[in-house]
Structure 1
Amino acid sequence: MSIMRNQPVRIVFILIVLLGVWMPGADAGTINALNAENLYVSGQIVNSHGEAIPEASVTLAVTGNDAPVKKTVLTDGNGRYEFKALFPAGSLLNARILLEARKLSYAPSVRISLLPIRASIDALGSSVYLAEANLTLMRVASPALWISGAVLLFVYVMIGFELVHRTLAALAGATLLLSCSYLVGPFYPDLRIISFEIAARSVDLNVIFLLFSMMMIVGVCEKTGMFQWLAHRCYRISGGRASLLAAVLMILTAVTSSFLDNVTTMLLIIPVTIRIARSLGLNPIALMVPEVFASNVGGTATLIGDPPNIMIGSYTGLTFMDFGLNLGLPCLLVMAVSVLFFLIYYAKDYRDVGKAIESKHPEPAIDFAIKDRRLLFLSLVSLGITIVLFLLHGILKMAPSIAALIGTTILLISVGRRVDIVELLETKVEWSTLVFFAALFTVIAAAQESGLIHLIADGVKSASGDSLIVAVLMILWVSALASAVIDNIPYTATMLPVVAYLTATVPGAQNGVLWWALAMGACLGGNGTLIGASANVVTAGMAEKAGYRIAFAQYLKICLPPMILSIVVCTIWLLAVEL
């Protein structure tokens, strides 16, 4: 006897089918898939700038049928969401499908009615209905915006006035925001500013690993005595003239800073500069100030020369070659103007030293010999490989940090026991700088989540009036003046999403000219004051330790005019060449 002729079995089968059709909140686990209807709803939640909104709450409600459904999901890191639901046959014919999205710092909700389209019938005879809904949420001022703005201002003030170390300032800001989100947020949802997941995603590992790798390479190179040897060669090349010595040292510093971090360059070259100046009877400040100015100019020219450029490159995907082609020539012009300015400014100091250095003064007491020639060879080979990979990373679709990590690993493996890697990690890697970047990224991400960056971008766009020339001038000059007052690293981090929005919306800006304006303004503007760039602060500290104090007003008097002059040169370049 067949199963369908068995009356008890038939009754049980019918009850199971009826139960599957009747159950509310139906899903794939409660409805017989045979002849059922499948609903797929997907889309993306963005803000008015077209930027994806992660962790937005999206609710799907299906009503007006025999199987009502209400489900809520969170968008992923790209603002995408997806719903899948299974319904009894015929349930979607007269159903109402509503979609609602919510997120802190946005208007309460967006509610739309969807009309699904039957796409196909699957192998089981079930109808497949699809619906695509991309929603745009509008920003509103919320308590989270004011709190994130206050914390960002707090970090700027702490760093700008050097009230605490910049790493502690950024770390305190990030901790305040996360504490507010997790200790107060559960009781007052409007104060949940940023989640740990978004904070973790905001840390740009490309920047972190690139800085780490270059620190390791420089740490090994330093042990060879290469930098002291180069500085002494500059002394010999000067041929008896202090003014030529200053020019050659500026060029050496600029070239070195194009491939190494500015701070590291100054840490290596200042001790040698002080010894050379003392042996000549010259005030070391007359060499150190031009050198640090040159280090910021040289660092502007390449992707890896200055932290703001590293951040811009990582954020935008611009390559090493892009930076070299667009910033190399204007930086050469700025360098020529800078050398000329300082030679005129310190002309009397250089003249007093005398023309014949060799005949009047002994060789400076510096150990300038190469300490380890094999280590020097291995270091130069590894550095050369790294630079070649930097040049090719755009073609290889490889992040710059990977190129740096490859070069670093090759160097460490090749040197073997010649270098103690533990000692290198402990003494040559600036962990405080890496922690500073990680914490700063979190503070900026909170400002972006709360809508503060959004408001700044809208304000800049409104002020520019959709004029590309005005936008270029605003980004260049505001960046230069702001970077002269505050550290250019947090300023650049704040401006990245702003410039990205302007690049996408201002007519004609799609060629990337605004990114070059930001790079020039942030890097060169740091020359304006003693606190404008990290290299300036380090130089002043080392000079004071050696007995030569560089006062804030003294530095401002010397370097503000050439900084303004350098921005004028960049303005002419951007308007004449890039537009």
Structure 2
Amino acid sequence: MRQRHVSFLYIVIFLAIAGFLAASAVLAAPAPAGDRLSISGLVTDPMGKGLKEVEVEVLVNGQHIKPTGKEAEISTGKPGGFVADFILPPGTLPAAKVEVKAAKPSWKPIPATPVKVVEAGADAQGNKLFQAAQNLTLNRTITPGFWIASLILLLVYVVISLELMHRTLVSFLGAALIIFITYTLGTWDKSFYIISFDEAIGAIDLNVIFLLMGMMIFVGVMKKTGMFQFLAYKAYAMAKGNVFVLVLILQVITAVVSAFLDNVTTMLLMIPVTIEIAVTLKINPLVLLIPEVFASNVGGTATLIGDPPNILIGSYANLSFGQFVQNLALVCSVCLIITSFFFLWWHKKDYLKAEVKDIPRTIAYLREEYQITDKKLMIQSLMLLGFTILLFALHGFLHMPVSVAALVGSLILLAISGEDIVEMLEHEVEWPTLVFFIGLFMVIAGAEETGLFQMIANWVKDLSGGNLTTAIILVLWVSAIASAFIDNIPFTATMLPIIAFLNQTIPGAESGVLWWSLALGACLGGNGTMIGASANVVTVGLAEKAGYHISFITYMKACWWPMMITVTIAMVYLLIAY
């Protein structure tokens, strides 16, 4: 047995040495003689945005040539750039005709385009070096893939609104269908191609997913301290048992906090407190949660860091925190006041059903029952929550994704508190909500990749006709209605270059009013439906987890008209102020 092992070892050593010598021989072998050609370029859309996964083909005298050391075609990277090197027979250049072609599903292919080749010296072996650079612009085209992706997106929303299936299953099924069609019909005919698996995975906004996960862990740990019950008692005592005053207090607190935290984080912190208050009053928590999440979206609209679309706009247009507050805080305050009283009227019957008897005795009872149960853990939680909020506030300086701050804070809290991470992940992280977001991001990416959002953006640009008033109204209302039904993050990202173009071409737009139109439309419009904003989805998901279900239609009935009111107020403000 020992001799067999030794023999096997000798064989392994021999094969390793042979492989090393063969590799060395290949590396030492001189490269074949010939002209060296290096071609580079950038492929963009008409607005100058780089396009990835564009197939680029190089032709010499009409014949396709392959890059050195590569078998596949040349493909652009994420910024839209490509670089390729070729070895041609000696003397081919510069006389030969060199051309490039480019193609990508859902875009009009670029036919063979001549490129200028420039001699750039010679290498150590005497081979001549040549360089060429060619930038290309692709234009959209309507394909069967466009109609399929748009139809799937529409069906996802219809099925969710009619509650024919659970929204998580619907969004994930839609994502799976889009990718399945890409690799079946799209392989047979490129016009059916929608989005690759890699692009679909890349479309998942992990910043949102990990932010939610981190803050859910925070809330899960803080629940164990009794802090949320204590805050519920304090809010009830502050309102002195008056339900209407209590609702106003909750909305104002939520809006103010959302201006400095993102609205998703704010709702994750407010939901447990609100549910405790509702249980005390013996009313459905949703009649408190819906006005709160509406207020969180309005409050988040007022600042640079309050809502993801604002972060995108601020980064693209180089707008400061102060500029957002200066231009949006007033109109958001007016919207908050008016919609707060709207919800008092809308849910009046529910609030009147609240059990409010012997208020002093109830307050005394709550003071006794709703006490802090773990003061040490509460202090640890608040310190790390404060640290996390500080990192959020320093986003403009550190450029740290908010998800990193949330994960670092929550995981440090888990480590020092000794809480079981398995229990937290199993019971406190709302996985159906996270999976819903993952599926929805991929479905929306399919529609975006095939050109749906670009079509909407171009329609806004063409219809404005160079008139500032028309442009303000169009940008505001199109953004609002679109954001009520599709995620406002990719829509905002698509609109950014359009707004930049309009700012340069429409007289008077240099004031930046169209940026504020986009911010108000995208953020306020998200209030219209339960899937219009991330905070809405999180609120509905956690309410369901606590046993309180609300349908798509019921949510829309409660929020659609106040959303329309806020957008109308925003329109009047923009037209008067600018």
TM over 0.5: yes
- Contact 1:320–1:391 at 8 Å: present in 2 too? no
Residue 151 of structure 1, CA deviation: 1.2
Task: Summarize the Cα distance change of 1:316–1:496 in structure 2 as closer, same or farther, 3 Å threshold.
Answer: farther
Task: Compute the TM-score of the two structures, normalised by the length of structure 1.
Answer: 0.79
Aligned counterpart in structure 1 of residue 407 of structure 2, from 405, 408, 431? 405
Identify which of 47, 54, 57 aligns with 2:55: 57
- How many residue pairs get matched? 537
Q: Give the equivalent residue in structure 1 for 2:376.
A: 374
Residue 41 of structure 1: how far off its partner (Å): 0.8
Aligned counterpart, 2:396: 394
Question: Is the CA contact 2:258–2:299 (under 8 Å) kept in the aligned structure 1?
Answer: yes
State whether residues 241 and 357 of structure 1, in contact with CA within 8 Å, keep that contact through their aligned partners in structure 2: no
Is the partner of 2:37 in helix, strand or coil? strand
Deviates more, 1:254-263 or 1:301-310: 301-310
- What's the TM-score, normalizing by structure 2? 0.79
Among residues 264, 267, 277, which one is paired with 2:268 in the alignment? Answer: 264
Instruction: Say if 1:48 and 1:531 are closer, same or farther in 2 by CA, change over 3 A.
Output: closer
8 Å contact kept, 1:101–1:109? yes
Aligned match of 2:459: 459
The 8 Å contact of residues 308 and 523 in structure 1, kept in 2 or not, is answered as yes
Are 1:568 and 2:560 counterparts? no
Q: Which residue of 1 aligns with 2:22?
A: none
Instruction: Give, in angstroms, the shift of residue 134 of structure 1.
Output: 0.7
Aligned-partner Cα distance in 2 for 1:52–1:87 = 29
CA deviation map 1:476-521 (0-9, x unaligned)? 223434555x4xxx34145234312312321256887555544433
Query: What do residues 298-349 of structure 1 show as CA deviations (whole Å, max 9, x unaligned)?
Result: 3444567567668878999988787666654543332233345556778899
Alignment-derived partner of residue 499 in structure 2:
503
1:178 — aligned with what?
A: 179
Taking only the aligned residue pairs, the percentage that are identical comes to 43
Structure 2 Cα separation of the partners of residues 195 and 284 of structure 1:
42
Q: Secondary structure at the match of 1:395?
A: helix
Shift of 1:95: 1.0
Q: CA RMSD in A?
A: 4.1
Structure 1 contact 277–284 (Cα < 8 Å) conserved = no
Q: Look up the match of 1:76.
A: 77
CA shift in 2, pair 1:295/1:149, >3 Å:
same
**Residue aligning to 2:10:** none
The 5 Å alignment of 1:417-566 reads: 417=418, 419-483=419-483, 486=485, 490-493=486-489, 495-507=491-503, 514=514, 516-528=516-528, 562-566=562-566
**Could you tell me how far apart the structure 2 residues matched to 1:298 and 1:68 are?**
57
- Residue 60 of structure 1, CA deviation: 1.0
Question: Separation in 2 of the partners of 1:239 and 1:446?
Answer: 52
Please, which runs of 5 or more residues in structure 2 have no aligned partner?
1-28, 68-72
- Cα deviation digits, residues 13-33 of structure 1 (max 9, x gap): xxxxxxxxxxxxxxx97633x
Name which one, 1 or 2, has greater alpha-carbon Rg.
1
Where does residue 133 of structure 1 map in the other structure?
134
For residues 273 and 247 of structure 1, the distance between their equivalents in structure 2, rounded to whole angstroms, comes to 14
1:38 and 1:85 in contact (8 A); partners too: yes
Q: For 2:531 and 2:456, how far apart are their aligned partners in 1? A: 24
Distance in 2, matches of 1:335 and 1:311, equals: 23
Asked if the contact 1:529/1:555 (under 8 Å) is kept, the reply is: yes
Q: Partners in 2 of 1:44 and 1:492 — Cα distance?
A: 28
Structure 1 CA distance, aligned partners of 2:471 and 2:214?
Answer: 35
Q: Do the aligned residues in 2 keep the contact of 1:468 with 1:507 (CA within 8 Å)? A: no
Q: Structure 1 residue 132: deviation in Å? A: 0.3
Counterpart-to-counterpart distance in 2, 1:505 and 1:153: 29
* Contact 2:161/2:553 (<8 A) preserved: no
Q: CA deviation at 1:46?
A: 1.8
> For 1:392 and 1:178, how far apart are their aligned partners in 2?
38
Q: Describe the shift of the 1:88–1:385 C-alpha distance in structure 2 as closer, same or farther (beyond 3 A).
A: same
CA distance in 1, matches of 2:197, 2:284: 51
Comparing 260-269 with 347-356, greater Cα deviation is found at 347-356
Q: Which digits, 9 at most, give the CA deviation of each residue in 1:164-192, with x for residues without a partner?
A: 22222211111111111113333333323
Retained in 2: the 8 A contact 1:31–1:87? Answer: no
Q: Structure 1 residues 428-437 or 552-561, which shifts more? A: 552-561
Change (3 A) 1:551 1:383: closer
Q: 1:361 to 1:97 in 2, by over 3 A?
A: closer
Seen in structure 2, the aligned counterparts of structure 1 residues 182 and 29 have a Cα distance that, compared at 3 Å, is farther
Task: Find the counterpart in structure 2 of residue 251 from structure 1.
Answer: 252
Contact 2:503 2:512 in 1 (8 A): no
Please report how far the alpha carbon of residue 228 of structure 1 lies from its aligned counterpart in structure 2 after TM superposition. Answer: 2.2
| Structure 1 residue 40: Cα displacement | 0.9
Whether 1:273 and 2:277 are equivalent positions in the alignment is yes
Amino acid at match of 2:371: A
Bigger shift: residues 343-352 or 473-482 = 343-352
Asked if the contact 1:45/1:75 (under 8 Å) is kept, the reply is: yes
What is the CA distance between 1:125 and its match in structure 2?
A: 4.0
Please say if residues 433 and 537 of structure 2, whose CA atoms lie closer than 8 Å, have aligned partners that are also in contact: no
Distance 1:203 1:283 in 2: 34
Name the CA shift for 1:321/1:289 in 2 (closer, same or farther; >3 Å): same
1:176-215 to 2 correspondences below 5 Å: 176-215=177-216
Opposite residue 452 of structure 1, the aligned amino acid is L
Q: How far is 1:150 from its partner?
A: 1.2
Query: In the alignment, what sits opposite 2:121?
Result: 120
Hey, what's the Cα distance between the residues in 2 that align with 1:357 and 1:176? 58
Whole-Å Cα distance in 1 between the matches of residues 38 and 531 of structure 2?
56
> SS of the counterpart of 2:36?
strand
1:266–1:538 contact (8 Å) kept in structure 2 = no
Letter in 1 for 2:224: K
Alpha-carbon separation, structure 2, partners of 1:277 and 1:483: 34
Deviates more, 1:391-400 or 1:237-246: 237-246
Cα distance, 1:385 vs structure 2: 0.9
Instruction: Describe the SS at the equivalent of 2:379.
Output: helix
User: Shift of the alpha carbon at 1:572?
Assistant: 4.2
Deviates more, 1:82-91 or 1:132-141: 82-91
Greater mean deviation of Cα atoms: 343-352 or 367-376: 343-352
Residues 2-56 of structure 1 show CA distances to partners (whole Å, capped at 9, x for unaligned) of xxxxxxxxxxxxxxxxxxxxxxxxxx97633xxx532111101222232222222
Rounded Cα–Cα distance in structure 2 between residues aligned with 1:548 and 1:408: 27
What secondary structure is seen at the aligned counterpart in 2 of 1:40? strand
Distance in 1 (CA, whole Å) between partners of 2:414 and 2:511 is 40
Aligned counterparts of 1:355 and 1:563: Cα–Cα separation in 2: 31
